Amino acid sequence: MLELSQVCASYGGPDVLEDVSFRVPQGAVCCLLGANGAGKSTTMRTLAGLLRPVRGSIRLEGEEIGSLTAEAIVARGMVLVPEGRRVFTPLTVRDNLEMGGYRLLRARRHAEFRRNLEHVLTLFPRLAERAGQAAGTLSGGEQQMLAIGRALMSSPRLLMLDEPSMGLAPLVVADIFATLRRLRDEGLTLLIAEQNARVTLRSADLGYVLQEGRIHGGGSAAELREDPSVQEAYLGV
Ligand code: ATP
């Protein structure tokens, strides 16, 4: 569904991503593993159109999207749940979700907007209970649910998540990943950037390892779990 080929990216200085190539198959949970500073967020930002690749190609269903704006990429069905959630804290839960669906409202796709809202509130009943509450008063886990819900409001086909487990208790993380698997089972394609390889490889179908801005191998989740270098560097074995 998504294919990166020799993507290089930089923040003006030396390249932070060097010849990054990988594929995300349709309907899969694909993970991008790597330590702090490996370039996971940079990859996600580049895919989301927040950073222009210096070189290389990014294709979504065969169509080059590397030079599109962030908004155009969302319109093509690829949405990022950013690191640190970035919910609009003074706004209510409902308003945050509506912001996620503003594109649909602008295009007068009201029925689709209502369907998405219903889906999100069914997926996360806690958001329904707290619809009128300011997002800033939610727990970290609830804010992560809200960030995912907000992204789902725009009808994505490919959902990208940057460090969804960050700062959350293990039970909350398990809950979030169970929801991500459910979304996969409903037909969504997911790309998850994570430092937490142990938890992520339990839910992923396949993955890649990013080190110092380069891809250092990849395979099915089972292969990665058995890979001695992955075990040593990311699974504490
Ligand atoms: P983390 O889990 O800490 O977010 P990461 O794998 O997501 O790590 P990136 O945030 O993509 O890594 O960082 C990759 C490299 O790019 C690092 O060397 C970092 O210092 C650099 N970098 C990240 N953001 C910027 C920026 N805005 N300007 C300049 N350099 C940056």
Q: Which of 130, 155, 180 is the last residue of a domain?
A: 155
24 close to 222: Cβ distance less than 8 angstroms? no
- Asked whether residue 164 falls in the same domain as residue 119, the answer is no
pLDDT digits (tens, 9 = 90+) for 137-168: 999 999 999 999 999 999 999 999 999 999 99
Burial 36-55 (b: 16+ CB within 10 A, else e): eebbbbbbbbbbbbebebee
- Structural domain of residue 115, as residue ranges? 84-155
Q: For ligand 1, is residue 37 a contact (CB within 6 Å)?
A: yes
Interval between CA 47 and ligand 1 midpoint (Å): 15
Q: For ligand 1, is residue 39 a contact (CB within 6 Å)?
A: yes
Nearest CA, atom 29, ligand 1: 11
Interval between CA 223 and ligand 1 midpoint (Å): 27
CATH number, domain containing residue 161: 3.40.50.300
Interval between CA 134 and ligand 1 midpoint (Å): 30
204 close to 31: Cβ distance less than 8 angstroms? yes
Interval between CA 33 and ligand 1 midpoint (Å): 14
pLDDT digits (tens, 9 = 90+) for 55-114: 999 999 999 999 999 999 999 999 999 998 899 999 999 999 999 999 999 999 999 999
- Asked whether residue 130 falls in the same domain as residue 227, the answer is no
The chain-wide mean pLDDT, for the chain, equals: 94
Interval between CA 45 and ligand 1 midpoint (Å): 10
Number of domains in the chain: 2
- Asked whether residue 192 falls in the same domain as residue 129, the answer is no
122 Cβ neighbours under 8 A, 6+ residues apart: none
Q: For ligand 1, is residue 45 a contact (CB within 6 Å)?
A: no
Check residues 43 and 235 and name the one with the higher pLDDT.
Answer: 43
- Asked whether residue 234 falls in the same domain as residue 164, the answer is yes
- Asked whether residue 187 falls in the same domain as residue 142, the answer is no
Interval between CA 204 and ligand 1 midpoint (Å): 24
**In which band, very low, low, confident or very high, does the pLDDT at 231 lie, cut at 50, 70 and 90?**
confident
**In which band, very low, low, confident or very high, does the pLDDT at 235 lie, cut at 50, 70 and 90?**
confident
Atom number, ligand 1, closest to the C-alpha of residue 12 = 29
Q: Which of 136, 155, 174 is the last residue of a domain?
A: 155
Give the mean model confidence (pLDDT) for residues 131-137. 96
Mutation probe of ligand 1 site: the residue of 8, 11, 50, 210 with most atoms within 8 A of C-beta:
11
- pLDDT of 237 > 70? The answer is no
Show contacts of 124-127: CB within 8 Å, 24+ apart: 124/148, 124/149, 124/179, 127/93, 127/97
Q: Which of 111, 138, 155 is the last residue of a domain?
A: 155
**In which band, very low, low, confident or very high, does the pLDDT at 236 lie, cut at 50, 70 and 90?**
low
Q: For ligand 1, is residue 196 a contact (CB within 6 Å)?
A: no
- Asked whether residue 65 falls in the same domain as residue 163, the answer is yes
